[in-house]
Structure 1
Amino acid sequence: MTTTLEGAVGRVLDSRTAVRSLVAAGLDAADPRAATARHLRLDGHVLTVGGRRLDLARCDRVLVVGAGKATARLVAGIEDVLGDAVTDGLVVLRPADAHVGLRRVRTVVADHPVPSGASETAARALLALAATVGRRDLVLGAFTGGSSALVSAPPPGVTAAAKQHLHRLLLASGARIQDVNAVRKSVSAIKGGRLLAAGAAATWVNLTVSDVVGDDPAYLTDPTYPDPDGPAVARHVLDRLGLWDAVDPSVRRHLAAAPEPPDLSATDLTTVTVTSGEDALRAMVRRAHELGLEPVTLDPLEGEATQVGARLATAAADHARAAAASGRPVVLLAAGGETTVSLGGVTMTAGTGGPNQEAALAFARALPVGADVVAAFVDSDGFDGPTEHAGALVDAGTVDRASQGGHDVDAALADHASTAVLRTAGDLLTTGATGTNVNDLVVVVCGAGSLA
């Protein structure tokens, strides 16, 4: 990971260095390429994966299909192990991830977080490839977070524009990713296990990276995994979110009459999660001990970004006071969760802000004056919301620096416009594409002033 940090200097420099080191440890531990190599073993022509031994000599073809923010490095890991045993394949990537060179698997680029015509073209190409498989083929699925936009094929009767509108409404709603995916799966010709159904004759092995709390594969690799929800759940979610009347009429008609998801109980399917936020968390704990910090692990953080940031600031201030009394600095660590932003009538544009930046700014606003606390809120894929930044690294001086630069922090939070404020404060964190996607990492160093 290459990280650029625009940060304040002085007393908090060493604490900031510690925070950067902890974040880097978490990202490195969640590298899909290395993780995939740990889960696959090829002995001669026998592939061992997920507790199974598959004789590739009995396979006519070994294909790889996938899409997502962590897919490029995951597939690179597959190629590292299998090499020329991979016959062909197709994966769909963001432009930021397309630089990863794959030798055996073809790549196409599509759009995220709102699907485009390229997303539909890519989805149709995957469906066409799946339709060619036979019972002697092995298909390795490599779907990771972000695939819902990168491969997006509306079902019959729903236009591409109506599906785009649905995605935008869900993104702006502040809903949990499980609810968002429950709807998107039911308004799709490829998700909800429909790609698996198109190639059901083959043997399938899903390899995925978890960006969902609980690691449920139904929400991680949904084109190639049975859908436990169906249209009734999608209707309920839209109604609960107050979006039923806001979606296009064609979406309502589809969900009212849509059949249940395909029955895939007879499919030969194995699913393996190669890495998740838990791997990142364990690595950050190890690095904390190396740095002389006492790690305190938190449950994955979920909820409205401003509320999560404010609550965590209160806890961090308490830990900082206790650390000052004991002489033992503490670091609070969380991984694998995801804060959300409910936009309401606000239109989010590129560069405005993201959930991690908003949580970080709310955290800084809630810190007591002079609190010995430094915190990073980071989207593990390297892009927080629609911005080019991964998140932010803040401290008790963030709000003063922003205010001296002419910003009203309260107004910025109300308008979900955190990026400009954090840029003025010198607190944006920029990594570029990391190649992984295990949701958010949060690192809060408390009471480490003695390190400076």
Structure 2
Amino acid sequence: MSREPILPDPAAFLVRLFKTAVAAADPMICIPRALGPKPEGRVVVVGAGKASARMAEAVESVWGPCEGLVITRYGYGRPTKGIEIVEAAHPVPDQAGVTATRRMLELLAGLGAQDTVIALISGGGSALLCAPAGDITLAEKQAVNAMLLASGASIDRMNVLRKHLSAVKGGQLAAAAYPAQLRALLISDVPGDDPAFIASGPTVGDATRAEEALSIAQQFGLELPASVLAVLHGTTGIVPPQDPRLSRARTEVIAAPAQSLEAAADLARQQGMEVRILGEALEGEARELAAAHARLALEIAAKEARSRPLLLLSGGECTVTQRGAAAEAKGGPNAEYVLAACQTLAGAPRIWALACDTDGVDGSDEVAGAWIGPETVGLAHRLGLSASEALEQHDSHGFFARLGQQVVPGPTLTNVNDFRAILIL
């Protein structure tokens, strides 16, 4: 029988697992593997997302200085030799993103069939690649985006509406590059890794209709401005999959959540642990998923005879539906997952949990997520904190900041969705 590994600091080990998952999706690793030789003729590199600057850096590490422009989140810029890096706002777009997107479309205009476009797309690109359709203003686009983020809608539902309010998403970036050959390299942050949903699919066709986007807005009670309604009741620029302008576009996913979960699982197995991956594409309300996972952990701890530690891993993208939260309350789906797990576990011995967003930003704060252990409830009580009250107010970031149990890695320069781990010793 294998000897049980010694873990003097289980929380630190969970953070190490998270960092291992992030490292597996580093563009400096996955871009060189996928890139191949530089095409002949003019090559233009464009892109958007939290990982796009790092992806551009990786391209130039293989091909040398290149022409192009990519848009990334503030603080996520990287040193490049020829590709221009523009930083803009996420998750709610700003004027810097709008101006850069317009410049990107101008850069693609006039390319010929002998030219090649490399599109570097990653999570976050939906907000960063911003060109409002019709007469929609930036302020109106920002308001709709903010409503979507607070609605509890899943990322795929959000992106359907976002596509129909955009002049660049839903295949429109690829259409703008035609007749040049376009090769899109994607880092997935969506359950199922469907390119149509990664950054709202700027390089792939979309079969949804404006009526569907309007239905989603109605389903979640969004109060849409007149300009938005005019676009949805008219003809949007979404490019259908069979459009000939997509005939020279090729899209491939080069990094995905499943690969990162496996990297973390391999590390745990090297430590002699049993690993169960609950799924890499789990969705739903963060607090509900957390409660289910915490109950599973309690059941395993109480009923299963084990000779070694057990690690439960999962990925995907949870949502948080705000219900009357105070205006100053702050929290993202990962920290809320951990907070809800804390409430269900109630200080159970020998169980630790962590949830973090692999892009380093949980919600809109510069915090990836948080961790808990058996002593968390007691520490919170001594500090006068209530997990249930913090959960009610969606103030998970505030709760874990007081406890000193946040995970703050800084910009990770990649994005393959949420990483969740529960360790049972």
TM-score interval (norm. to shorter) = over 0.9
Question: How has the CA–CA distance of structure 1 residues 293 and 12 changed in structure 2, closer, same or farther, with 3 Å as cutoff?
Answer: closer
Could you tell me how far apart the structure 1 residues matched to 2:105 and 2:11 are? 47
Q: Choose the corresponding residue for 2:249, options 245, 266, 269.
A: 269
Quick check: 11-20 or 230-239, which moved more? 11-20
Give 3-state SS (helix, strand or coil) of 1:386's partner. Answer: coil
Please give the alpha-carbon distance, in whole angstroms, between the structure 1 residues aligned to 2:53 and 2:289: 31
Residues 325 and 392 in structure 2, CA contact (< 8 A), matched pair in contact too: no
**Correspondence 1:309 to 2:304:** no
SS at match of 1:113: coil
Pick closer, same or farther for the CA change 1:157–1:373 going to 2, 3 Å: same
- CA distance 1:113–1:18, change in 2 (3 Å): same
* Correspondence for 1:237 among 213, 216, 222: 216
Q: Which amino acid aligns with 2:229?
A: R
- Partners of 1:172 and 1:344 within 8 A in 2: no
Tell me if the contact between 1:177 and 1:212 (Cα under 8 Å) persists in the aligned partners: yes
Query: Following the alignment from structure 1 to structure 2, what is the Cα–Cα distance between the partners of residues 434 and 22?
Result: 14
Match of 2:31 in 1: 36
Structure-1 separation of matches of 2:303 and 2:252: 42
Distance 1:331 1:301 in 2: 17
Q: Is the 8 A contact 1:399 1:425 kept in 2?
A: no
Note the C-alpha offset of 1:216.
Answer: 0.8
Q: Sequence identity of aligned pairs in percent?
A: 36
Contact 2:75 2:87 in 1 (8 A): no
Per-residue CA deviation, residues 397-430 of structure 1 (Å, 9 max, x unaligned), is 2222112111222111111011121122221111
Q: Tell me the residue number matched to 1:7.
A: none
Residues 1:133 and 2:111 aligned together: yes
2:113–2:181 contact (8 Å) kept in structure 1 = yes
Instruction: From 378, 381, 390, give the equivalent of 1:400.
Output: 378
Which range is displaced more, 143-152 or 168-177? Answer: 143-152
Contiguous gaps of at least 5 residues in structure 2? 1-5
List per-residue Cα deviations over 1:250-297 (Å, max 9, x = no partner): 111210112462353343011111101011011111111111110001
Indicate which of 30, 37, 43 corresponds to 1:62: 43
The amino acid across from 2:277 in the alignment is: T
**Residues 382 and 389 in structure 1, CA contact (< 8 A), matched pair in contact too:** yes
1:180 equivalent to 2:162? Answer no
In structure 1, C-alpha distance between the alignment counterparts of 2:169 and 2:419, rounded to whole Å: 28
- For 1:4, the equivalent position in structure 2 comes to none
In the alignment, structure 1 residue 79 sits paired with structure 2 residue 74: no
Match of 2:18 among 2, 23, 31: 23
Q: For the residues of structure 2 that align with 1:107 and 1:140, how far apart are their CA atoms? A: 15
* Structure 2 residue 225 is matched with structure 1 residue 248: yes
Aligned equivalents of 1:301 and 1:375: distance in 2? 17
Of 168, 185, 193, 1:215 maps to: 193
Gapped regions of structure 1 (runs ≥ 5):
1-10, 48-55
* Aligned-residue offset at 1:234: 0.7
Mapped to 2, the partners of 1:218 and 1:82 lie a distance apart of 28
Superposed displacement of residue 348, structure 1: 5.8
**Aligned residue number for residue 329 of structure 1:** 309
Classify the secondary structure of the residue corresponding to 1:365.
helix
Contact 1:143 1:208 in 2 (8 A): yes
Q: 1:431 to 1:338 in 2, by over 3 A?
A: same
Question: Contact conserved, 1:230 with 1:260, CA < 8 A, in 2?
Answer: no
Partners of 2:165 and 2:236 within 8 A in 1: no
CA RMSD of aligned residues (A): 1.8
1:98-143 per-residue CA deviation (whole Å, 9 max, x = no partner) reads: 1x21112111111111111111111111111111311111000012
Structure 1 residue 248: Cα displacement:
1.0
Structure 2 residue identity aligned to 1:289: R
- Work out which of the residue numbers 289, 311, 314 in structure 1 matches 2:269: 289
After TM superposition, the structure 1 stretch with the greater mean CA deviation from structure 2, 273-282 or 154-163, is 154-163
Partner SS for 1:114? coil
1: CA distance, partners of 2:347 / 2:416: 33
**Structure 1 residue matching 2:202: 3-state secondary structure:** helix
Aligned equivalents of 2:378, 2:110: Cα separation in 1: 61
Specify whether residues 95 and 251 from structure 1 end up closer, same or farther in structure 2 by C-alpha distance, changes over 3 A only.
same
Shift in Å at residue 321 of structure 1?
2.9
* Matched position secondary structure for 1:318: helix
Q: Which digits, 9 at most, give the CA deviation of each residue in 1:55-103, with x for residues without a partner?
A: x23x2x101001101111222221122224x3x10001112211x2111
- Relative to the length of structure 1, the TM-score reads 0.88
The answer on 1:444 being equivalent to 2:425 is no
Distance 1:12 1:366 in 2: 24
**Structure 1 residue 205: Cα displacement:** 0.1
Q: 1:13 to 1:413 in 2, by over 3 A?
A: farther
Structure 2: distance between partners of 1:127 and 1:260: 14
Q: 1:228 aligns with which of 207, 231, 234?
A: 207
